[in-house]
Structure 1
Amino acid sequence: MALHPCISSAIAASIVALTPVLAQADTFTAQSVVTSATLYPTGGEVVRRARLQMPAGRHELHLPNIPAQSAQSFAQSVRAELTNAQLGPIRVRPDLQTTKENWAEPEAEARKLVADAKATLDQLKSQKAAAMDEVTAAQDGLDFLTRLKAPSGTAAIDLAQIAAMIREQSALAREAMAQAQARSNALNDSLNDAKAALDAAKIELARIADPDEARVTVSLSLDVPEDGEVSVDVIYPIQAAGWRPSYTAQLDTVTGDMQFERSVQVTQSTGEAWFDVTLSLSTDRPERSTDPSYLPPLIRRVFDPDDMRPMARSMAADTMMLEGAQMTADSMVPRGYGLNLMYDLPLEQTVYSSADEATEFAMSVLEFGPQMSVRAVPLFDETGYLMAAFQNTSGEMFLPGEVRLYRDGSFIGQTFSDSIGAGERAEFGFGPVDGIKVSRVIVDANEGDRGVIRKSNEMESAILISVENLTDRVWPIEVMDRVSVSEQEDLDIKWSSTQIPSEVASNDQRGILKWVFDLEANTIWTTQLTERLTWPDGQQLQ
């Protein structure tokens, strides 16, 4: 099948674009494309490649149209790797800025080539699908004829006619199926050509520079020992790119399982699209300092007491200077990410240039059996919140990132998770459980006064805490409340609870009480928490 003229033009244009143009006897120009990229949380490093046939000898190779904000900074960081050639000096110069008028027409033509190539590919796919539908229809006809039987008692002459009809129709069905299969097979080469033309059109579109984006030309001096293909990889860092982890936690409260999906969101705004690149993600952070902090000597002085005041001012100034230096050092200490890791995406990827949109790639799906509980904080909340604690048994560290939370298939919100090391325990909150009602009220005294009695050097309080389970299932409950804590011997604090707390310093926090229990359906749990504070006369309580 002949290709659309636009597609043939696209293939021809791509071949010309990849073929070096001999400007002088020893000067070549070739287009390069990004073939791989290693991204860090901030920034990255890309490899762009050019391949071309070169004769033996010393040559100058120009690679234009490379996005870069500054030719000077680009020249300081670029390096090159060659196959079948020796590298000499590398020079970088700014590309001449194209005017909007000169740029608009080729950009429109390139976009039309992409659209035409895609339309041709879609048309060929439709033709192949139609041919395969005919194959299926013919096969269905054969299957029907095979199952066809004459009614009982049919005369012999009629049986012969039926048999002849079945043979004739079967032959026609097989012929139709063979012809449709042949048409489908014949489209395979055209489909491959159309796919190649679409890829070439995309590369051409990516090559065209927006005049608002700065570009440079990299010139390399090459010594080619013999005629043949030379491959050039230009490697350089970029700032307008990065990646961040993203997670989705889906909790099934019936089975008690939690599915943890890991993905990464990649962004790049270099000014060109990356088509079919090998993408790697590193947890390294090149922007961090490569050397430890400088530790200055601690200089002591002796001084005459008569000069104490001026010297005190001098020492105060020195102290302020040292403290300022220490504060600066502290502010530059990197966040700990554990061991550095590298993730290689299994397939070649396409990442478009955009400052506002991220491309998300799935990494893995893990299964955990979390420990579920409903946590109630009666001092602040009127309902319990579902919590799921789990251990990271994946063997890998989970980097800090946003976590989308789903409970029984419904999206309930998102949270931010700090890093979770391999083997470390973590906990996510999965929203309120409306059927768990919580209350915390001050108990009335018998005399009719409020439950908080305060004198000049004494204060007493009585609090009633209750948790009611209005659901139809048993829930493990954690109730958290607090009592006063004293750091002075003169302030005496005594407290009691009708239900003994499971922990009296939860999470190593003094005065934080926790009650852990299972609450049956349609039942209420209560405890009364009393507290008495006394202190010497003449002093005030804070």
Structure 2
Amino acid sequence: MLQKCCSIHILEKITFKNPIMKKLLTSLLIVLQIQAFTAEKPKSVKSEIKEVSVFLSGAQVTRAGNTNINAGTSELIFENLPSNINEQSIQVTGKGDFTILSVNYQLNYLKEAKLVKNIQSLKDSLDFLNDQLIYEKDMQVVYQEEEAMIKSNKAIGGQNVGVKIIDLKEGADYFRTRLTDIKTKWQAHQKKIVKLNKEITLIKNQLNVLNSRENKPSGEIIVTVTSKTPTLAALTLSYFVQDAGWVPLYDLRAKDSNSPVDLAYKANIWQLTGEDWEKVSLSLNTGNPTLSGSKPNLAAWYLYIYYPQKKRGKRNETAGFASQSIVMAKEESKKSDKAQLEEDMVSDALTSANYTTVAEGQTSVEFKIEVPYNVPSDGKHHMVEVQKYTIPATYEYYCAPKLDKDAFLIAHVTGWESYNLLSGEMNLFFEGTYVGKSYLDVASTNDTLDISLGRDKNIVVSRTKLKDFSKKSFVGSTKKETRGFEIEVRNKKKQQVQISIHDQFPLSTNKEIEVEHIEMSGAKFDESTGFLSWQFDLAPTETKKFKMQYAVKYPKTQTIILE
């Protein structure tokens, strides 16, 4: 191509005396220019998205398309692609009697990215509403002009000519009727304008949420191929895009406190790539290509003596080398929510989990869903059920009445390591009722996952301060305070339950403070933490009571909070 351009440039500089030769060379120049222009234009390949592999961050999109290739070297172009394709991830393969020479990615700023269907539909609606708004405002202007014309010509008769009563009455009736009609119609148009403005605002807000790709360049991939003969080429194109991902989500259902738990593994898929995924073969991958794959290397660690620099001048009250550590405890709320509907007694409907196969790789797991899926480019979460598991579990009620007198049902789930789970939010259902949310933390190194299934009001627990065992006394320079509590547990359920009650004795951090353990009713006691625990079975309608009592000695000039 460079040689052709140079030849054309040289021919343009030559001056010929023979007119015929000049015409021939001019014609040759035009032919060469047409050929050069034709050779530069790549052939567009129409392609469709066939497969999408969604990672925790990002997605690999696979397209397929067919086209005819001429003999020789030619360029093929895939148009209307996302503008944020990872160029290093592009792969092109093909079937046919041809050779792929090169693959290049570029942005076309002269051609804006194709709008996705829902965005285009909203823009069309917005244009229609704006046209209606213009019409309504124009009609108001017409009625205003008519009103002004009537008011400017309201004089009846002349200055020297009187007006008959009947003419005056007819004129007044006309003005009243016409002006009333004008005002009424103007108000009707005003109501329509207010309604249209509300609808226009809603659509504009929705367009902002959808992150319209308007005024963004279009991505293009140019594939250079060569073939000895004309042939049909089947091309497959794959690339990685950032604006997509999925988040794990779980539904944990326990039929009762004697059955294993059913765990539904779900995924919330989202994407804002600018192209809708319609009827694609979808797979979910637990890998994350955006993370660095390079292993970290330790360097030698040398220690040096630190000599702090002395500051001159008045020291600020907030200055200094000491730092204060603040530890914040975060307590997860386990409030009950509204009950959900009971499942139908007929056979369960199939979900995408029934059509999912699992492939375990060396560093990740892939869930391939055989049912075609639609995922629009709207940034919203689209839920897909990945797998269903039935997991063995044991149940126990837990209560710490010092903090909360409600008993929480805890499911101890074992063998969870073999299910390829990720940490994520979990919806909890017990006996067919939604009881709240929890968090599945698979980063735990424990063999058993402890999952709270919410509060059970049929286990009644109380913690009462015993006045006879709570008193103060003074001995010399010391003060002795005694505290006693009674814990009562009652089972209102129709079956026996296992329950664990937890409380605590205070711990001393000062040699001047002495703690005496007087009564603990056979509780298991941990001296390092001061925790007390009672584990027992409770029959239906049975009630059990436990007492705990302790005393604390400390200087009477000091104050200590004992409750």
Band the TM-score falls in, shorter-chain normalisation: 0.5 to 0.7
Aligned twin of 2:286: 283
Within the candidate set 83, 100, 111, 1:86 is matched to 100
Compared CA separation, residues 401 and 308, structure 1 to 2 (3 A): closer
1:70-109 pair list within 5 angstroms: 74-75=86-87, 78-83=90-95, 84-97=98-111
Within the candidate set 397, 411, 436, 2:434 is matched to 411
**Structure 1: how far apart are the matches of 2:391 and 2:228?**
59
Q: Normalized against structure 2, the TM-score is what? A: 0.60
CA contact (8 A) 1:52 1:229 kept: yes
Whether 1:231 and 2:234 are equivalent positions in the alignment is yes
**Structure 2: how far apart are the matches of 1:300 and 1:103?**
61
Whether 1:298 and 2:321 are equivalent positions in the alignment is no
Overall identity of the aligned pairs, in %: 18
CA contact (8 A) 1:474 1:519 kept: yes
**Structure 2: how far apart are the matches of 1:234 and 1:67?**
13
Within the candidate set 403, 406, 412, 1:383 is matched to 406
When Rg is computed on C-alpha atoms for both structures, the one with the higher figure is 2
Compared CA separation, residues 99 and 513, structure 1 to 2 (3 A): closer
CA contact (8 A) 1:441 1:464 kept: yes
Aligned twin of 1:527: 546
- Compare the two structures and name the one with the higher helix fraction: 1
Aligned twin of 1:52: 67
Aligned twin of 1:478: 500
Q: Which moved more, 1:75-84 or 1:43-52?
A: 75-84
1:114-129 pair list within 5 angstroms: none
Q: Deviations over 1:45-104 (max 9, x none)?
A: 2222332221332111111100214xxx7546544334442222514132534599x999
Shift of 1:218: 1.8
**Structure 2: how far apart are the matches of 1:393 and 1:493?**
42
Shift of 1:426: 0.5
Q: Deviations over 1:270-317 (max 9, x none)?
A: 1222123333322222333334266475363698xxx9748xxxxxxx
Compared CA separation, residues 286 and 210, structure 1 to 2 (3 A): closer
Instruction: Tell me how many residue pairs correspond in the alignment.
Output: 383
Shift of 1:479: 0.5
Compared CA separation, residues 259 and 43, structure 1 to 2 (3 A): same
Shift of 1:452: 4.6
Aligned twin of 2:517: 495
1:116-265 pair list within 5 angstroms: 211=214, 214-253=217-256, 255-265=258-268
Within the candidate set 441, 453, 475, 2:464 is matched to 441
Compared CA separation, residues 474 and 89, structure 1 to 2 (3 A): closer
CA contact (8 A) 1:397 1:420 kept: no
- Residue segments in structure 1 that go unaligned for 5+ positions in a row: 1-22, 112-208, 311-318, 324-337
Within the candidate set 458, 480, 487, 1:458 is matched to 480
Q: Which amino acid aligns with 1:424?
A: D
**Structure 1: how far apart are the matches of 2:81 and 2:551?**
75
- Residue segments in structure 2 that go unaligned for 5+ positions in a row: 1-36, 125-211, 312-319, 324-360
Shift of 1:395: 1.4
1:361-376 pair list within 5 angstroms: 361-376=384-399
Q: Which amino acid aligns with 2:64?
A: R
Within the candidate set 501, 515, 535, 1:516 is matched to 535
Shift of 1:536: 5.3
Q: Normalized against structure 1, the TM-score is what? A: 0.62
**Structure 2: how far apart are the matches of 1:421 and 1:511?**
25
Aligned twin of 2:349: none
Compared CA separation, residues 225 and 277, structure 1 to 2 (3 A): farther
**Structure 1: how far apart are the matches of 2:497 and 2:393?**
14
Indicate the SS of the match to 2:482. strand
**Structure 2: how far apart are the matches of 1:299 and 1:423?**
36
Shift of 1:211: 4.0
